[in-house]
Amino acid sequence: MTEPVDPMASADEAEIEPTSGSVTFVGSGPGDLGLLTLAGSRAVRFADLIIVDEDADVELVRGYGPAHATVALAGDDEVGVILDGVSRGQKVVRLTRGDYFTDADASGVLPEVLTHAGLHANVVPGVNRWSAALSFGAVRVTSAFAALDASLEVPPAAQWPTADTLVIRTRGALAGQVAEQARELFGAPGHTLSLRGMGTTAQLSEVLSWSEVAASEAGECFYIVGPGVEDTHRQRYLWFEGKPLFDWRVIVPRTKDDLASLVDELAHFGASTEIVATMSIEPPRTEQGMEKAVRGLVDGRYLWLVFTSPHAVAAIAERLTEYGLDSRALSGISLAAVGRGTVEALARLGLVADLVPVVENTTGALANEFPAYDELIDPLNRVLVPSADVSVEPLLVGLSRLGWEVEEVTAYRTVRAAPPPPEVRDDIKTGMFDAVVFTSATAVRNMIGIAGKPHAATVVAAIGPATAAACEIHGLRVDVTAEHPTFEAVAEGLARYADKRRADQLAAGLPATKPSQRKRRKRRKPVEPAE
């Protein structure tokens, strides 16, 4: 549950009694939560209350913390909120951008909190903005570097720190003042590396003169001054903007699969991903089947419970909650899971799957790796498979051949989703997306049904032969077919395609462009009829 941090009953200025509660101040890095350290991630994962600085961080943090954790915005009574949570035995995490001590945005809450005896407190360092700017800008430091925060005001040149390399943080409105003071300190014309959108798929780094800096109207930006900026070898180290899919806009139609891991894989290669829901999840038409199944789980009717999707996990968990139960009701039952998303959904409930397919994340692979029923060892031979209203036939047949009595129950229904917003549909049809990644034949049919066909210039990637065949049936040219039916393989295949495409363009003496940057034909004006 997300709620603003309201001023609570003020914490006593007197010493608080030692409790099992604690507070950990965690530096989250320069903006990408993927840069959390292992220690920081662990603190967030076990937190009861997480306090963040900005609204945008709330949804980002939600996927990292436990389901029961409250994510709240920092308020005026931040110290009181922290102390109240600790006194109630909560594990409180104060998340701040960058590093708590080296970034200017860090609050002064820590000293106040530490004045209270009996408080368990800890600080987890984070990746600070200054070193991150050097890394994302691919600037090597020859000896030492200094940091200057000019995001609120620009100090006179005489107060600027001195070092071989200087990292300046500022905003577009102050860029002119920064350039003026820099000319006084470094002389004209002078050159600096401008870094905007640091660490995002919209990152832009370019070497500018001070006059060009003065004309900048960007939001938050970093300017780096030093010998590494004009290093002739810097291009070799442009590791971030040199990613195969850097700045590519990729659309992924979603059916019932959890696509978080696919988004991560595409982001690894530099892509910005937009997910379009082509299928929505609804409860079954009747509840009798699920009620009988849950009673059977509680009564010990089944030896195995097989989950084929995260939605099946959510459906069972929801029914258990309705009966006043939790995941402990599944103790003594062996669990099988198909897909990374399903395994992660179980983990969020504190459950670990006993069997996960090793070869492929498919129901057929699970049937091949499932143990055969042994009446001398197994006390029961019943297996429960909660699934969608579409039967998982290969799994059912495979388990039956192994001697198991399989009971399938409809845990949820899948229906075609509503069309995406008009601007998204227009971008799909006009080729504003660089690529589309289809993860199933159903995704192909549903996307074309609700949004239309992608533009001919859009690169089409399919997760496997069946999906590729569905694309071709609907008149789509398939550019990439994954070598294996996994998210990792389809993302790697798309990255290789982009690399080859760029190499072919450069070999032909053409500028390297994205598919969406094609030359668009101008509409011809209608010819007026002759009089």
pLDDT computed for residue 259 by the predictor: 80
Q: Which amino acid is at 168?
A: I
Mark which of 98, 127, 156 sits at the end of a domain: 127
Give the CATH number, domain containing residue 54.
3.40.1010.10
Same domain for 265 and 309, yes or no, is: no
Same domain for 180 and 292, yes or no, is: no
pLDDT computed for residue 17 by the predictor: 47
Q: What is the pLDDT of residues 268-299, one digit of tens each?
A: 999 999 999 888 888 888 889 999 999 999 99
13 part of a folded domain: no
339 part of a folded domain: yes
328 part of a folded domain: yes
Same domain for 305 and 367, yes or no, is: yes
Give the CATH number, domain containing residue 359.
3.40.50.10090
Name the residue range of residue 340's domain: 283-415
Same domain for 102 and 204, yes or no, is: no
- Please, which residues have CB within 8 angstroms of residue 13's CB and are 6 or more apart in sequence? none
pLDDT computed for residue 105 by the predictor: 55
pLDDT computed for residue 10 by the predictor: 39
Report the distance separating Cα 247 and Cα 253, nearest Å: 19
83 part of a folded domain: yes
186 part of a folded domain: yes
Q: Which amino acid is at 96?
A: T
Same domain for 453 and 340, yes or no, is: no
Give the CATH number, domain containing residue 203.
3.30.950.10
Same domain for 335 and 427, yes or no, is: no
b/e string for 464-477 if b means 16 or more Cβ within 10 A? beebbebbeeeebe
Mark which of 237, 267, 299 sits at the end of a domain: 237
326 part of a folded domain: yes
Overall number of domains in the chain:
4
Same domain for 295 and 401, yes or no, is: yes
519 part of a folded domain: no
360 part of a folded domain: yes
**Residue stretches of the chain with pLDDT short of 50:** 1-18
Report the interhelical angle of 260-268 vs 487-507 (nearest 10°).
30
Long-range CB pairs of 230-237 (<8 Å, 24+ gap) are 230/191, 231/139, 231/140, 234/138, 234/139, 234/140, 237/138, 237/140
Same domain for 138 and 122, yes or no, is: no
Same domain for 290 and 405, yes or no, is: yes
Q: For strands 405-416 and 279-282, give the pairing.
A: antiparallel
pLDDT computed for residue 309 by the predictor: 86
Q: What is the pLDDT of residues 454-486, one digit of tens each?
A: 999 999 999 999 899 999 999 999 999 999 888
Q: Which amino acid is at 186?
A: F
Mark which of 127, 146, 167 sits at the end of a domain: 127
Q: What is the pLDDT of residues 222-264, one digit of tens each?
A: 999 988 887 756 666 778 888 999 989 999 998 766 687 888 8
